[in-house]
């Protein structure tokens, strides 16, 4: 039974299609993550289990949540494959590049091919695959209005608002409390914009995880007798681009990514 810390040894077993179903942008990235223990070999749906066992001596059962995510990706890819990419590019604020659809996310270019496979040179937010494909399929188009709403005021947002506060806003507030330069860092890393007018927050940052679906982060520093506060706001047009569950997944996924960035820069 063989143990390896060489990503290339794992890479040789992979399909080398960069399909994205492992939520990483390439098979090589998956091989590196598997060697580090960040991914299970079984997370690749195309890797033969017998070959995987040569390295790990038996593969653990697949995580049911991970399987659901992979099934969701596969379903979305089928819907994307049916779309007119020229129409989609105009509707979504993207571009058609060599028959693929290019969508800008957080200042980085993501390519979606005719089979719905997502690729990017950027590794920072590979978990964007489901919200990105959902955006391509669901968005009705239209430009942002510039009117900001809390999550609870979005269509169908009230029921999920307590969970969103706990998983999204509270988690991000703790991060910013501990890493006071995080929001400035996000501006630099992800082409964010400071919002000066309209909010009394100490700092308000607008990020574009999807071209027509901006998110506003507003943070108030702690003062004497008052705790710090942080709120996430969405453009009032957000529900025309994604369903509420996809908006939730997008925002909470971003918070998880920001947590990783904060650890790397601490």
Sign for the CA dihedral angle at 162, 151, 238, 93 comes to negative
Taken in order of first residue, the domains within the chain and their CATH numbers are: 7-56 (1.10.15.40), 64-138 (no CATH), 148-265 (3.30.310)
Rounded to whole angstroms, the Cα distance separating 144 from 241 reads 10
Using an 8 Å Cβ cutoff, are 103 and 92 in contact?
yes
Rounded Cα distance, 21 and 104, in Å: 20
Tally of CB atoms within 10 A around 166? 11
pLDDT tens track, the chain, 266 positions: 344 567 787 888 888 888 877 878 888 888 888 887 778 887 888 877 556 656 554 334 445 566 677 888 889 999 999 999 999 999 999 999 999 999 999 999 999 999 999 988 765 455 688 899 999 999 999 999 999 999 999 999 999 999 999 999 999 999 999 998 999 999 999 999 998 766 688 999 999 999 999 999 999 999 888 999 999 999 999 999 999 999 999 999 899 889 888 887 76
Residue 114, class by beta-carbon neighbours within 10 Å (0-12 exposed, 13-18 middle, 19+ buried)? middle
Edge to edge, what strands does the sheet with 203-210 contain? Answer: 148-150, 229-235, 213-220, 203-210, 193-194
């Amino acid at each position: 039974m063989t143990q390896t810390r060489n990503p290339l040894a794992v890479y040789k077993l992979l399909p080398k299609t960069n399909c994205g179903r492992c939520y990483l942008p390439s098979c090589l990235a998956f091989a590196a993550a598997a060697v580090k223990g960040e991914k299970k070999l079984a997370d690749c749906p195309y890797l033969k289990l017998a070959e995987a066992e040569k390295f790990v001596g038996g593969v653990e059962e697949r995580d049911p949540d991970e399987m659901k995510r992979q099934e969701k990706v596969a379903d979305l890819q089928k819907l994307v494959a049916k779309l007119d990419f020229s129409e989609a590019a105009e509707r979504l604020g993207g571009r058609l590049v060599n028959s693929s659809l290019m969508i800008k996310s957080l200042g980085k270019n993501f390519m979606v091919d005719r089979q719905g496979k997502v690729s990017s040179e950027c590794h920072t937010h590979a978990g964007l695959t489901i919200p990105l494909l959902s955006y391509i399929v669901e968005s009705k188009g239209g430009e942002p209005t510039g009117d900001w709403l809390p999550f609870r005021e979005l269509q169908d947002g009230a029921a999920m608002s307590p969970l969103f506060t706990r998983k999204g806003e509270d988690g991000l507030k703790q991060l910013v409390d501990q890493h006071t330069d995080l929001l400035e860092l996000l501006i630099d890393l992800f082409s964010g914009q400071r919002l000066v007018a309209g909010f009394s927050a100490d700092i308000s940052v607008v990020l574009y995880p999807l071209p027509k679906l901006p998110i506003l982060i507003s943070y108030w520093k702690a003062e004497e007798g008052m705790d710090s506060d942080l709120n996430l706001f969405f453009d009032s047009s957000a529900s025309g681009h994604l369903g509420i569950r996809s908006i939730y997944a997008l925002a909470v996924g971003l918070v998880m990514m920001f947590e990783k960035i904060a650890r790397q820069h601490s």
